[in-house]
Amino acid sequence: MDVTEATELTLNDWEILTTRNRNGIMPYQQIIADCNPGDPTHWLNLRCRDGQTERYCSKHEDNPRYFDQSTMTWTPVGMAYLATLDALTGARYQHLRLGVWAAAEGQYFSDWDPAKHVCEPFDLPAHWTRWVAVDYGFADPWCVLWAARADDARRTIYLYRELYLTGYRDEQQADLLREKSKGERIARYYGDPSMFNRRTEQNKLSIALVYRQHGVPLLPAVNKRIPGWQAVLRTMASERGPSTTSESPRLQVFSSCKNLIRTIPQMVHDPLDNEDVADKIRGRKTEDHACDALRYLLTMETVPVGRRHQFPMTIAG
């Protein structure tokens, strides 16, 4: 069975189709569905990709499910049609030209392009400056991102590791963060400023002090949202470098940072402040934890000389 533009189906429609796919009667019967990408929160994207990128196969014993994300480079189309797609803008360009599941309206990071911003992991030189940012959570996801700054002309920033977990206590978070950073020379650890608030219940220490007791000397990140998002946009923007003739953004994200890659396209403009990212969409909290950690990372990388927590130009010894 072939289903064209499967995104036009509701989840109920899809389940009716799949429950009629009786493999016991027709062992080789399949449902093949195709679609153009849409909003990243669409049920089909969430169900099939399960947070993965590009190719995914869920090998259920009786009902295997395969997902393949193609782009126009896979398709033998005419150059004139490609030129038409290249002229598109916003979410339509993301959907039809790049094959990206992006917010249909008001996407904040419109420059985001996995083809330009995502790279395969490689061994980073030990002398590159490295720093870490934490967005705190317990029931909500706790996100940690590691960054390294290259010594090339563009001072490329590589996001090379991600933690994205729930249900970890403060001391468990610090221990895991320290373990993941073992053997690396981390210049600074930055955290959400709320982690430095003293907790009144049972006279508990602040989260930042718990981290410090467990070997992670956390410093407060600057939490000015709009300047922070501007720092992300600047680092994400493509530019022509002195050693290249093609546009190349400073920001490079290892493909292993799956939750950051998954949630960046979901961020939209705040309807009350176009310069800010909305923290709710239709009354539902956005999954902005990885993006907040990214904002802390890039804000602190650009802190001017003389500020209280000046970012070091070299790795601290």
What would the 3-class secondary structure string for the chain be?
A: CEECCHHHCCHHHHHHHHHCCCCCCCCCCCCEECCCCCCCCCHHHHHHHCCCCCEEEECCCCCCEEEECCCHHHCCCCHHHHHHHHCCCHHHHHHHCCCCCCCCCCECCCCCCHHHHEECCCCCCCCCEEEEEEECCCCCCEEEEEEEECCCCCCCEEEEEEEEECCCCHHHHHHHHHHHCCCCCEEEEEECHHHHCCCCHHHCCCHHHHHHHCCCCEEECCCCHHHHHHHHHHHHCEEECCCCCCEEECEEEECCCHHHHHHHHHCEEECCEEEEECCEECCEECCCHHHHHHHHHHHHHCCCCCCCCCCCCCCCC
User: pLDDT tens, 58-81?
Assistant: 544 455 666 666 666 655 665 667
Whole-prediction pTM value? 0.70
C-beta neighbour count of 280 within 10 angstroms:
11
Provide the mean pLDDT of the chain: 80
Distance, CA of 15 to CA of 12 (rounded, Å)? 5
- Is residue 14 a contact partner of residue 20, using CB atoms and an 8 Å limit? no
Q: Does pLDDT of 29 surpass 90?
A: no
pLDDT, mean of residues 209-218: 96
The residue among 57 and 289 whose pLDDT is bigger is: 289
User: pLDDT tens, 98-145?
Assistant: 777 665 567 889 888 888 999 999 999 999 999 999 999 999 999 999
- Domains of the chain, by residue range, sit at 2-68, 72-104, 118-301
CA 133 to chain CA centroid, Å, is 14
- Is residue 101 a contact partner of residue 267, using CB atoms and an 8 Å limit? no
Pick the CATH number of 118-301 from 3.40.50.1820, 3.30.420.280, 3.10.520.10, 2.102.10.10: 3.30.420.280
- Is residue 11 a contact partner of residue 43, using CB atoms and an 8 Å limit? yes
Write down the pLDDT at residue 287: 92
The residue among 38 and 241 whose pLDDT is bigger is: 38
Write down the pLDDT at residue 61: 46
User: pLDDT tens, 155-169?
Assistant: 999 999 999 999 999
Distance, CA of 145 to CA of 43 (rounded, Å)? 27
* Residue 312 pLDDT class (50, 70, 90 cuts): very low
Helix axes 289-301, 225-236, angle to 10 degrees: 80
Q: Does pLDDT of 308 surpass 70?
A: no
The residue among 70 and 214 whose pLDDT is bigger is: 214
